[in-house]
Amino acid sequence: MTINEFLTTGQAWWVTFLILGCVILVVSATSAFVGWAVRDGADRRALILFPAIFVLWGGGALATSLTLVLEFTWFLPFALFPIILGSAMSFLPVVAGVLARVPVHWMIGLQTYRVLGGLFLYPYMAEGILTPGFSWPAGVGDVLTGLAAPFVAIAVLRDPEGARRIFYAWTAFGILDLIVAPLSAAIWSFGVGGQDMTFAVTAIPLFLGPPFGILIHIMTWRAFELQRRQSDLTASSARSAPAE
């Protein structure tokens, strides 16, 4: 049995619904974050820019996964393009303005969705479809990142400066996991004997997996640093202001 055949069986129908639900969740949450950040007069172009990008990206990934068979060996450009483009866009004034205002702990908490990476363990443990060399790195790393996200978010909310090292370590681990997972998939040929991927598995490498996860990590890091810089400037101005 291949991974695609497994996902069409009655016992695995819920995997498809979980993936679809997760796509809707992350797009909706990201749009809500942007809406909150510009609620009091910031650059409202972001209200169009961010949702449009994520809707087109997420919708395109789902449409691609429904209509095409994506070989794992050539999905890399699809994964890298949004990461590179999104990272570059984070320096645009309209995007940087949002990142300077959106609560960082919200963005950290969004990564809780990564616990769904544990889905990769189920086909391996239940049916032996996926290889352990791929399932364990992909599943365990995602679950650990997702489980840690709420705790890191709370730590940053309470004391951003004091939690700085924890935030950096969690970010590095989360990004490293999303790099190791596709590399292990390439090394272990993804599944038994190597398999092409169709819906719903394709939606993961095209959107939910490394592309979105790494980009959100980068955006969160940018937001953390921008807000930290603002806090330092505010504190410096307060110290230099003459006493009345």
Per-residue pLDDT tens for 134-188?
Answer: 677 778 889 999 999 999 999 999 999 999 999 999 999 999 998 887 777 666 6
Give me the torsion for CA of 170, 150, 211, 220, rounded to 10°: -70
Helix/strand/coil for 92: coil
Predicted pLDDT at 220: 95
Per-residue pLDDT tens for 174-184?
Answer: 999 988 877 77
Residue pointed to by tokens 């055949």: 5
Per-residue pLDDT tens for 188-230?
Answer: 654 444 445 555 566 666 666 788 889 899 999 999 999 998 8
Distance, in Å, from the CA atom of 186 to the CA atom of 190, rounded to the nearest integer, reads 6
Indicate the pTM of the whole model: 0.79
Distance, in Å, from the CA atom of 124 to the CA atom of 76, rounded to the nearest integer, reads 24
The domain ranges of the chain are 3-225
Residues sharing a CB contact under 8 Å with residue 169, sequence separation 6 or more, in sequence order = none
